Each structure stands twice: as C-alpha cells, then as structure tokens.
C-alpha cells in the first residue's frame, strides 16, 4: 500500500496532535480536505481512526517514530501561518482560531421569569 504525499503530510501533523482544522491551516487546505486525506489513510491502512493510522504508519516505517531522537523534524515555521487572536478571519472567533471548539451562543435575549420580577 502506498500513501500519497498529502496523506503523509496530514498524518504527520496528526501525529503531533494537530486537529483537522489546524492541519488544514498549516497545509493551506480546507478542514474537510484534511479529513478526506486522513480518512483515505485509515482505509488504506485498514484501521478505524487516526490514532490507529499513526501507530500503523510508524510500525510500517511510513512515519518516523517521534520517540527516537534525530528521526523527526519540526516545522515550527509552518505554525506561524496560523492566525493569532487579533487577526482572525471573518466569522472565525479568536478561540476557534486558537484551536478550541466554538461556543454555542443564543441569538435571543434572555427569557423573562414568570411573575414579572427579575432577580
């Protein structure tokens, strides 16, 4: 079985704990595209999730073992493409830009309590 270079890129960043959204930002692709490549990787390696795919890829020698010194490289300069908290995209909250899950917010004003009194 042969993985494409993009599948290996996505798997590499997933092995560093990056989310699909972060992988997309680093590689300049959509989050959905990162999920697509990781899904193809899982199918090719006959596993059901990305952690199992990472483990299988390391065992098969497709990815370097992160625990062995000198075998892996760090692309910290690529992380500089991630937006900071003050330079987010329209519709993208700073929290989401930092990688955390978006909060559910209500578009409606708070409900009034019965009886007409407020606290």
Number of domains, the chain: 1
pLDDT in tens, the chain (119 residues): 799 999 999 999 999 999 999 999 999 999 999 999 999 999 999 999 999 999 999 999 999 877 776 544 444 444 444 554 444 454 544 455 455 555 555 566 666 667 766 55
H-type helices in the chain, by residue range?
Answer: 5-15, 20-27, 31-45, 50-59, 76-79, 94-97
Domain of residue 48, CATH code:
1.10.10.10
Tell whether 68 is covered by a domain.
yes
Determine, yes or no, domain membership for 72. Answer: yes
Length of the chain: 119
In a domain, 105, yes or no: no
Residues of the domain holding 42: 5-82
């Amino acid at each position: 079985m042969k993985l494409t270079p993009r599948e290996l890129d996505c798997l590499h960043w997933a092995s560093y704990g990056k989310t699909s959204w972060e992988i997309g930002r680093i590689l300049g692709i959509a989050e959905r595209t990162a999920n697509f490549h990781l899904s193809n990787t899982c199918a090719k390696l006959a596993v059901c999730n990305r952690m199992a795919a990472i483990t299988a890829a390391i065992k098969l020698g497709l990815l370097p073992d992160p625990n062995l010194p000198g075998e892996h490289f760090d692309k910290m300069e690529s992380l500089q493409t991630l937006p900071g908290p003050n330079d987010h995209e329209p519709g993208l909250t700073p929290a989401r830009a930092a990688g955390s899950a978006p909060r559910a917010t209500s578009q409606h004003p708070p409900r009034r309590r019965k009886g007409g009194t407020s606290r």
